[in-house]
């Protein structure tokens, strides 16, 4: 069965966007995954296609309505009951590579893209299966860019999408560490040589060097990762 994604958004024209290019685009053309963008406004209650209203209690901006979003979400989940449903919001749990691996191993995803000041909290109370997810500690104009990032991260892990399956296992976050540095030709660039160990042909020493460099990069740049157990992707 093809891995599929349905994106609920008020800007369906943003999809596939960059996902129509490079490896994700090739995989989409080869039907290795499927993408559907659903316009939330199609589920509005009025002729104007309203999806938001003023915040209760006052304040700036607008809030996405729970009733409109519930109608859209229910329609999609009725068609794809097996797919997990995630909502893109800065109030969500941080996205991790483990979450990406789990999603890529399943039937697909339903992604709800938040906009404006946020979403009426009652949507999450009434639809507890809707998981709130954040792609980082910053605020975007909406969830669409986050949805693109999640889909790109998942699609590249699907069978047959990446040319070298092993390369996905050595990247940043796969083993709880940042990735080791990479080098290629020329051997000398503006006085900076390739580390000699990488030219030695000694695979054990190269692996040891790469592990040490990964630990060093993680310690210097993301020491928070070292407080978690180091673990790679699940064995098959």
The dihedral over CA atoms of 217, 221, 227, 232, expressed in degrees to the nearest 10, equals -50
Token duo for residue 133: 């997810």
The answer to the question of residue 122 being in a domain is: yes
Asked which of 10-14, 87-91, 164-168 is least confident by mean pLDDT, the reply is 164-168
Location of structure tokens 């990406």: 100
If asked whether residues 43 and 130 sit together in one domain, one would say yes
63 DSSP 8-state letter = E
Closest by CA to 228, choosing from 178, 191, 176, is 176
Q: Per-residue confidence at 209, pLDDT binned at 50, 70, 90? A: very high
Task: Give this prediction's pTM.
Answer: 0.89
Q: Do 155 and 35 touch, CB atoms closer than 8 A? A: no
Question: For 30-38, what is the mean pLDDT?
Answer: 98
Alpha carbons 98 and 231: distance in angstroms, whole number = 10
Total domains present in the chain = 2
CA-closest candidate to residue 135, choices 178, 70, 177, 87:
87
Kindly state whether residues 100 and 173 are assigned to the same domain.
no
Q: Domain of 173: which CATH number?
A: 1.10.1270.20
- Domain check: are 139 and 35 in the same one? yes
Say what the pLDDT of residue 236 is.
Answer: 41
% of the chain residues with pLDDT over 70? 92
Residue 36 three-state SS: strand
Domain boundary among 123, 155, 187: 155
Domain that holds residue 192: 169-227
Mean pLDDT of the chain: 93
Query: pLDDT-derived band of residue 169, with 50, 70 and 90 as boundaries?
Result: low
Q: What is the pLDDT of residue 166?
A: 45
State whether 151 and 223 are in the same domain: no
CATH code, 130: 3.40.1280.10
At 230, the pLDDT band (50, 70, 90 cuts) reads low
Contacts for 210 with CB less than 8 Å, ≥ 6 apart: 180
pLDDT band at 186 (very low <50, low <70, confident <90, very high): very high
Are 109 and 185 in the same domain?
Answer: no
Lowest mean pLDDT among 19-23, 84-88, 176-180, 207-211: 176-180
């Amino acid at each position: 069965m093809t891995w599929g994604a349905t994106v609920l958004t008020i800007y369906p024209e943003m999809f596939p966007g960059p996902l129509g290019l490079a490896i994700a685009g090739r995989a989409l053309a080869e039907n290795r995954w499927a993408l559907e963008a659903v316009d939330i406004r199609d589920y509005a209650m009025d002729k104007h296609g309203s999806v938001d209203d003023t915040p209760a209690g006052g304040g700036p901006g607008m809030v996405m309505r729970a009733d409109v979003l519930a109608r859209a979400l229910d329609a999609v989940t009725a068609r794809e009951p097996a797919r997990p449903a995630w909502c893109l919001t800065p109030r969500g749990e941080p996205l991790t590579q483990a979450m990406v691996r789990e999603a890529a191993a399943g039937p697909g995803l339903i992604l709800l893209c938040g906009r404006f000041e946020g979403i009426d909290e009652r949507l999450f109370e009434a639809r507890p299966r809707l998981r709130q997810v954040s792609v980082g500690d910053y605020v975007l104009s909406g969830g669409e860019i986050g949805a693109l990032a999640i889909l790109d991260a998942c699609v590249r892990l699907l069978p047959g999408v990446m040319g070298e399956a092993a390369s996905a296992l050595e990247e940043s976050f796969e083993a709880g560490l940042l990735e080791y540095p990479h080098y290629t030709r020329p051997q000398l660039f503006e006085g900076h040589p390739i580390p000699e160990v990488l030219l030695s042909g000694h695979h054990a020493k190269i692996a040891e060097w790469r592990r040490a460099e990964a630990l060093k990069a993680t310690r210097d740049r993301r020491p928070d990762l070292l407080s978690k157990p180091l673990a790679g992707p699940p064995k098959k």
